[in-house]
């Protein structure tokens, strides 16, 4: 008789999987055309990149904290969106939910 392999998961492992799947669902809800990119096999660092590009910085930071990933890509993405916002137009800031540089 062949024995089955049984994996025992701890609560922290389940929490990590939940947050990762939740992030994939948020990406799909935000941008349905990303369905090819949000397959379940995406690594956490790839998911952080997609979240950052989609402007979901809070969720990207949460993933970085849970998976002990560097937050540098998230802060770089936030800084890039802020700089573009300041250089291009205040209307673009509304899209990215960033403060404007209005001194009026």
Of the listed ranges 15-19, 45-49, 64-68, 85-89, the one predicted with least confidence: 85-89
How far, in Å, CA of 64 to CA of 47, rounded? 10
Q: What is the mean pLDDT of the chain?
A: 81
CB 51 within 8 A of CB 63: yes
Q: Which two tokens stand for residue 6?
A: 């049984």
Tell me the C-alpha distance between 74 and 57, whole Å.
Answer: 7
Token code pair at residue 5: 């392999």
Residue 74 in tokens: 């998230």
pLDDT one-digit tens code per residue, 52-67: 988 899 999 999 999 9
pTM exceeds 0.85: no
What's the confidence (pLDDT) of residue 76? 94
Q: Is residue 62 within 8 Å of residue 19, measured between CB atoms?
A: yes
């Amino acid at each position: 008789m062949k024995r089955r392999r049984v994996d025992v998961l701890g609560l922290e492992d389940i929490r990590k999987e939940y947050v990762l799947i939740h992030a994939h669902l948020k990406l799909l809800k935000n941008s349905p055309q990303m369905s090819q990119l949000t397959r379940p096999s995406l690594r956490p660092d790839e998911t952080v990149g997609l979240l950052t590009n989609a402007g979901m910085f809070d969720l990207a930071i949460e993933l970085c904290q849970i998976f002990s990933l560097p937050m540098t890509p998230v802060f770089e993405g936030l800084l890039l969106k802020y700089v573009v916002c300041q250089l291009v137009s205040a209307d673009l800031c509304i899209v990215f939910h960033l403060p404007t540089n209005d001194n009026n």
